[in-house]
Amino acid sequence: MSHLHDEKVKELEQKAHEIRTSIIESLIEAKSGHTAGPLGMTDIFTLLYFHILRHDPKNPHWEDRDRVILSNGHICPVLYATMAHSGYFPVEELKTLRKFGSKLQGHPHREFLPALETSSGPLGSGLSQAIGMALAERMERGKHSGKYFYCLMSDGEHDEGQVWEAVLQAGKEKLHNLIAIMDRNNIQIDGFTEDVMPLEPLKEKYEVFNWHVIEADGHNFEAMAEAISQAQAVFDKPSMIIAYTIPGRGIPWMERRPEWHGNPPGKGPEDVYKKDEQAKEALKTLRSLEGKIKSEHD
């Protein structure tokens, strides 16, 4: 992994902003889909695809690529937008999100978009899929192939028992090539995670199951890059990065609100903006932020 210098951080900040704008534009066009999670995970996806991953958008099935497994498939607008900006398909195609016959289904589907590593939707299954891939890699190419399997997970899906079965299995197998990243945004569709089903202490739970655990600010590119670098340096156990994020990041009136978990602009709560104003105001907010980012970088 190359050093994350100041100019690179600026590039990543600008790219993340472009991706957030694409997410909102695609959700407005679709008139359905999830907003809070995709906006909250944009910085992490940007860091992965534009700095961390070994991948080739022109050759998506390159054998030596790293793998990205999205467990919480409902945040796929950020995956699609990041892939498009990386060159996997035209950015304009993001406007087909959730449309009939589109490659960009409401949950990722490999038959529609073959560049995806997995299909996802039912929560809790992604870590099991990632474990299977990581084990197969070790069986075929040994412990030191250099390929990493990044499993992106939500905190809310830790309500699923299958997650904890998978956590046990990965710890038993000492899968050092498996790096999970948890979106610790503290919300799920029914409210705040600690009200629905308390999850803490998450760090200690993973450690007891023989995982290396790192906590990091999910919006700090340097901190997340360092966390991933630390995880790559662990050779006797899998790693979990608990990334603390702000759901709805970038649009203050959406931030930290469970009501925006599964609603696009135009279908959210009306305490700040009426439904028919939300799309315009979301884009206006992002354009204002773009000007601020550019002035900071000049």
Beta carbons within 8 Å of 12's beta carbon, 6+ residues apart: 43, 46, 47, 50, 51, 221
Distance CA 64, CA 204 (A): 33
Q: How many CB atoms lie within 10 A of CB 231?
A: 22
pLDDT exceeds 90 at position 295: no
- Determine, yes or no, domain membership for 190: yes
- Determine, yes or no, domain membership for 56: yes
Distances (CA, A) of 19 to 102, 121, 172, 247, 281: 19, 22, 37, 15, 17
Instruction: Place 4 in a pLDDT band, splitting at 50, 70 and 90.
Output: confident
Instruction: Place 285 in a pLDDT band, splitting at 50, 70 and 90.
Output: very high
pLDDT digits (tens, 9 = 90+) for 193-225: 999 999 999 999 999 999 999 999 999 999 999
- Determine, yes or no, domain membership for 292: yes
Distance CA 224, CA 214 (A): 10
pLDDT digits (tens, 9 = 90+) for 165-179: 999 999 999 999 999
Instruction: Place 291 in a pLDDT band, splitting at 50, 70 and 90.
Output: low
pLDDT exceeds 60 at position 298: no
pLDDT exceeds 90 at position 130: yes
Find, among 254, 251, 228, 253, the residue nearest to 241 by Cα: 228
Find, among 262, 260, 261, 280, the residue nearest to 271 by Cα: 260
- Mean pLDDT for 92-115 is 95
Q: Is 165 exposed, middle or buried (0-12, 13-18, 19+ CB in 10 A)?
A: middle
In the chain, where do the E strands start and end?
67-70, 149-154, 178-184, 187-188, 191-192, 212-217, 239-244
CATH of the domain at 43: 3.40.50.970
- Determine, yes or no, domain membership for 96: yes
Better pLDDT: 130 or 289: 130
The predicted pLDDT at position 288 comes to 87
Distances (CA, A) of 297 to 8, 11, 120, 268, 280: 11, 9, 38, 33, 26
Q: How many domains does the chain have?
A: 1
Residue 34: give the domain boundaries. 6-297
For residue 18, give both structure tokens: 């472009």
The predicted pLDDT at position 145 comes to 78
Distance CA 250, CA 273 (A): 16
pLDDT digits (tens, 9 = 90+) for 34-72: 999 999 999 999 999 999 999 999 999 999 999 999 999
Better pLDDT: 3 or 162: 162
- Determine, yes or no, domain membership for 103: yes
- Determine, yes or no, domain membership for 1: no
Percent of the chain with pLDDT over 70: 97
Question: What DSSP string runs through 219-282?
Answer: T-HHHHHHHHHHHHT--SS-EEEEEE--TTTT-TTTTT-GGGSS--TTSS-SSSS-HHHHHHHH
The predicted pLDDT at position 258 comes to 95
Mean pLDDT of the chain: 95
pLDDT exceeds 70 at position 80: yes
- Mean pLDDT for 89-103 is 96
- Mean pLDDT for 106-134 is 94
The predicted pLDDT at position 251 comes to 97
Better pLDDT: 194 or 121: 194
